[in-house]
Amino acid sequence: MSALIRIEAVSKRFSGQPQPAIDGLSVEFDAGRVNGLVGPDGAGKTTLIRLMAGLLVPSSGSVRVAGLDPVAEATELRAAVAYMPQRFGLYEDLSVMENLALYADIRGVRGAERRRRFDELLAFTQLAHFTDRLAGRLSGGMKQKLGLACALVKVPKLLLLDEPSVGVDPISRRELWRMAAELVGQGIAVIWSTAYLDEAEKCDQVLLLNAGRALFAGPPAQLTAELAGRSFLVHGLGAARRAVLEHALDHPAVIDGFVQGASLRLVLGPRAQPPTVEELRAPAGARVVPAPPRFEDAFIAHLDQRVHPHTAYAERQAIGAVGTVTVSARGLTKRFGDFTAAEDISFMIHGGEIFGLLGPNGAGKSTTFKMLCGLLKPSRGTASVSGFDLLTAASQARARIGYMAQKFSLYGDLSVRQNLDFFAGIYGLRRRRGPLIDRVVDAFGLAPYLNADAGGLPLGFKQRLALACATMHDPAVLFLDEPTSGVDPLTRREFWSHINALVGRGVTVVVTTHFMDEAEYCDRIGLVYRGRIVAEGPPERLKADAGVGSLEEAFISLVEGQEDAV
């Protein structure tokens, strides 16, 4: 295969930044392949994509795309490159067809070619039945498909996708990968930037970036193979797995660890011996067994950064009573006109439990989530938090709730301190706001950013600030709406170390997520489809019921089983 993209000794520096975003990078990408870009937040992935698209000028070095200089030959490049950014610019008050027509006008696609291309794209993305629907009313997966269709209005030689699967469910992700495979089959080169490392394993080649430099370039299996003999699972832990994880991360041999369903996954340093059950302070009957390495294991090992297992939350007094029912839903139903978004939702969640609400885009999980938070009034049924009915005692119930929204619920034009001060006021903490703010600033390491605008924070610190704002009043129940969407594995691990500590204090956590590795942290999962709970239980039981080895496979199997039953 010929190299479609050649990047030679490229650096990119931004004014006011002490370190270059891209630092002396040399790499080639081939046509007819899916080329993955992976790395932690701030590694330089988006900067590199924008250099290839001709949207940024390199500070030094050379970029060639299809033999063209992206800056000097920008007009010719636009005919060869399609770019779908993280925020791809759909017009939500225009229909599917109107968005396609707008992009066709911009790219100069007219006449018979336009009609033929629209027919191909609508069939390709399976949007042919939704041409009159407003883009703002599409599900997350359908929006991504429409964004891809708009990018492909003119057939490119190179397709640049900057984290296209963030916020979409596993079924929609699978569809996006199907479409990428078809494009590659046509000889198109695809650059796929992702924070989901299970996706990186599907790429033909990957470039692992950190601080603007290449740590690895080649087939993902080659990187994974370097971790042979260094990945282990700890079975038989039961409810002790979160406490055992903390001990494991303190062990000098362990460089990474996280909850994987009923077990723990541990990654060891080079030539290290696995910790014993006694060293992990695991319960009798626990077992440490070898496991095949994953690409994510190799990713963490190459970054050579460890997540600190300790958090200030672990040192504070208990909040909730473990085992006591803290969240209850009975027959929750929500109708919008003739449309029923959620129907007869019932379950109970206990103190010290993590409960996951999963489901495809548009299945009704967000509606259910909002009813449980008191943000949406049900058409029928009841919900209670800490014994307080959300209809008859809403203020008492909300005082026991912490809420971290998908978009972080932060005010970007306010400083970190101003955001903390604002949320302290919302929670009625005015008399104690000083000590409480100092406490969360210390717990989350926010002191260097106190006077910085929240909108300009690195993604990991935005997440820290959002969690600090949601928990400074010590809520008994914490609602997390896709809390780590699009963040890298290191940031995700840090976030869940705080959540695990909160759960250890008896806090109940209700979480929605499209990332199945994150769902493995849950004690129980409720799978929502077409407005109903269609499966409920621990992750291991859902996998066993579906007869598959991964939670993502279980998700797809259970949803498709519901389709077949209709």
Domains of the chain listed by start with CATH number: 3-224 (3.40.50.300), 227-309 (3.30.70), 410-474 (no CATH)
Q: Tell me the C-alpha distance between 1 and 465, whole Å.
A: 47
Check residue 360 and give its pLDDT.
85
Contacts of residue 21, Cβ cutoff 8 Å, sequence gap at least 6:
12, 13, 14, 44, 47, 212
Q: Tell me the C-alpha distance between 556 and 541, whole Å.
A: 15
What stretches in the chain show pLDDT beneath 50?
Answer: none
Residue 306 structure tokens: 């460890």
Residue 474 CB neighbours (<10 A)? 18
Q: Tell me the C-alpha distance between 96 and 93, whole Å.
A: 10
222 to 84, 295, 534: CA distances (angstroms): 29, 9, 40
105 to 115, 150, 183: CA distances (angstroms): 12, 11, 23
Residue 266 main-chain phi, psi, to 5 deg: -120, 140
Check residue 2 and give its pLDDT.
66
Q: What angle do CA 236, 238, 243 make, to 5 degrees?
A: 105
Bridge-based pairing of strands 34-38 and 205-210 is parallel
Q: Exposure pattern of 545-565 as b/e (b: 16+ CB <10 Å)?
A: ebebebbbebbbebbeeeeee
Secondary structure class of 268 (helix, strand, coil): strand
- Report pTM: 0.86
Check residue 265 and give its pLDDT.
94
Residue 22 CB neighbours (<10 A)? 26
